[in-house]
Amino acid sequence: MATLILKPQREKSLLRRHPWVFSGAVARVKGRPAAGETVAVTDSRGRFLAWAAYSPTSRIRARVWAWEEATVVGPAFFRQRIRAALARREGWIPADTDAYRLVFAEADGLPGLIADRYHDTLVVQFLSAGAEVWRDALVTALQEATGLEHVYERSDAEVRRLEGLPLRQGALRGAPQTSRRITEHGHAFEVDIARGHKTGFYLDQRENRAWVQRHAAARRVLNAFAYTGGFAVYALAGGAADVLSVDTSADALAQVQRHLALNGLPTERGATLQGDVFQVLRTFRSQGRRFDMVILDPPKFAPTAAQVPRAARGYKDINRLALLLLEPGGLLVTFSCSGGLDAALFQKIVADAAVDAGVEARILQRLSQGPDHPVALNYPESAYLKGLVVRVG
């Protein structure tokens, strides 16, 4: 068994059970482990700390599978971990919902593995060298635990390149259809699991969409970065006066209209506009357009801490513009999914945006990812989705 021996005093994060070992913490590697191979991690004195998957090319040199020395990392271990992940979600998924996350990587003790359910199909991602090595065993364990036959792979995320892995996607087991109709809180959506963002749909926003439905009545809503219209469907279902969805993708906006029709909602009250959100907000400001609710759900501006300064300027700009478009008493529902930007900084950015906009504003509520995206206390990076509900005036 190969061993990663840490430098003196570099074991502190592992003793707090953070699941990553960075390359700078490694003094030497005993043996010649292959990518994804299970290695022992010890402190500088040889004391066992964890079993981890080795990644020779990544700055995260190893990702922890288990902390107990007696643990055997193999098929039985993965079956147990996946059953535990499913048990965590019992009672938290609404009965009228058949699309949700089953496994959330490190947060479920399975680094690099993402598994989402879309009705009768599993969509999986193997994002680390360790998950790649155990790919077949992980899929088998998922099928055994869920009883689902169809599995589609979306290992096309750029993070795989950091692990020295090629991008890959396609049918993995069964005969998965790439277009799946799902139900979420009773609302129907058509999801393209082959070409859609992430694994096809923003499952992490499910409870936040429901929040919008509860507070949208009679409001004029601007839904920016709309994608395929999840927030638009919920807003109109909640009695919004009208919803304008803005996105750069014509295909996504066409799907907004289909989703409204699919749910029996008035498409004439669900207009769409193709364009760059930053420019559209500026144009609306110059035109004097006003709204009662603005939803900002932008893509990831800062995947890493190094990109935060530039991303902060973008977040401040769109939030400032959105605040300027709100009527007194209007609500800004704003999000950041950037892992490199923490909640405190996001709040400061929105606060600075309010100062620059010259508006008085207050946080009414904080929003986050749903319970199928649990946050592990030993892995704060799993708390990536940050949302604020801000009232103007």
Cα 228 to Cα 153, 157, 213, 246: the distances in Å are 21, 20, 16, 10
- Which residues, listed in sequence order, are joined to residue 361 by a DSSP beta bridge? 392
Q: Please give the DSSP secondary-structure letter assigned to residue 46.
A: -
Exposed, middle or buried, 157 (CB in 10 Å: 0-12/13-18/19+)? Answer: middle
**d(C-alpha 325, C-alpha 26), whole Å:** 52
> Residues 223, 246: contact at Cβ < 8 Å?
yes
> Which residues are designated catalytic?
337
Q: Which are the contacts of 170, defined by CB distance < 8 A and separation ≥ 6? A: 152, 153
Scan for tokens 């009768």, then name that residue.
Answer: 120
Q: Tell me the H-state helices in 93-205.
A: 129-133, 135-146, 159-162
**d(C-alpha 383, C-alpha 93), whole Å:** 19
Q: Are strands 326-336 and 26-30 parallel, antiparallel or unpaired?
A: unpaired
Q: Are strands 113-118 and 121-126 parallel, antiparallel or unpaired?
A: antiparallel
CA 124 to chain CA mean position, Å: 14
What are 307's two structure tokens?
């990109």
**d(C-alpha 34, C-alpha 39), whole Å:** 10
Output the furthest CA–CA distance in the chain (Å, rounded). 70
Please name the amino acid found at residue 332: L
Q: Which of 119, 26, 10, 109 is nearest to 64 (CA)?
A: 109
**d(C-alpha 264, C-alpha 96), whole Å:** 17
C-alpha Rg value of the chain to the nearest Å: 22
